[in-house]
Structure 1
């Protein structure tokens, strides 16, 4: 899959029943009904409440030559670019590299502070991955989610490594990892429990 280039990695926080977000996502509640305030406070507490315990995993979230994310991961759940919007990530996003956003609606590239530039790709995952590989050179490409975008890449056989952060809560409904994905052969590479999460890395086998 990777040839001479870097790996294609996905990195995702999920509930124990496999959901990366609950139902009823909105601009104000990007993670929907997660049992908290919808901001992702319950799913992602491991990043913010115990950062030192999870420093290596947090640092790896931005350690790639280029990134791919779905439309909802970038910004609000809307069908059109109906107003100026810089996305969920603020004026200085944590990526500091090219980010390729999958969308059905074209938009000019959007430079941000700190070296991040969003590129909006309307031609699908193969085009986004080709552009991300070119931008990353021999570095890794990280598919940042959400689960629907990762599922598309998994179903197409494009992921080399799957990094999951499994949080001990259930959501019961929402956007779920592996939905619509054919059976996969996974090799466990690492597993590390922490107080609020278990970090598991799998290699996706051919």
Structure 2
């Protein structure tokens, strides 16, 4: 079981734009011919290259839970209670949002203990499978606390110029990474790294 961080990131290092949000960064999910069904109540589907679709199907089986911060939860409107990949979600937040938790929703909230507690909760609800962090702040915290094993970046062929950076406020930098793989996509390059821990 490993802890990985993954986000789609612009060439200039942003994972969200103040007005565009993640729309530009997530377009690669719809640029291909191979359909990967979403889990839950969604009126869209992933349409990627065959190799990217294989990666999405692998994610459905290897990921036990995804950890997000509160901003991601709010922007996604709680994923309607069920993430598109069909895995439980753990939200790291100072307070549980009004109207949550909801019956039947695979969304859990951690309000104390920081990112370490969120990862522990992810292991608990994820049945011992991998835990993925999908927000910038929790990723930065996990790096600084030595909790991150791998880092994957979907590097999108776009520059946003403003917004939330993936790698801001790294207190423990510099970090060394070992490159594990590079996979080309349609308007995106997928990069995988191991975090070297000393």
Class of the TM-score when normalised by the shorter of the 2 chains: 0.7 to 0.9
Structure 1 position 154, deviation (Å): 1.5
Aligned length: 175
- Structure 2 gaps of 5+ residues are 33-46
**Cα distance in 2 for residues equivalent to 1:8 and 1:153:** 9
Match of 2:124 among 134, 147, 162: 134
TM-score (norm 1): 0.76
TM-score (norm 2): 0.79
Structure 1 position 58, deviation (Å): 3.2
Q: 2:74 matched to which residue of 1?
A: 75
Over the residues paired in the alignment, what is the CA RMSD in angstroms? 2.1
Asked whether the 8 Å contact 1:47–1:58 carries over to 2, the reply is no
Q: 2:41 matched to which residue of 1?
A: none
**Cα distance in 1 for residues equivalent to 2:137 and 2:48:** 30
Asked whether the 8 Å contact 1:74–1:88 carries over to 2, the reply is yes
1:57-206 → structure 2 map (5 Å cutoff): 57-62=55-60, 63-76=62-75, 87-90=77-80, 92-106=82-96, 108-112=100-104, 117-123=106-112, 124-145=114-135, 147-181=136-170, 182-206=173-197
**Quick check: 1:40 aligned with 2:22?**
yes
Q: 1:79 matched to which residue of 2?
A: none
Q: 1:21 to 1:60 in 2, by over 3 A?
A: farther
Which structure has more helix as a fraction of its residues? 2
Asked whether the 8 Å contact 2:82–2:106 carries over to 1, the reply is no
**Cα distance in 2 for residues equivalent to 1:60 and 1:42:** 24
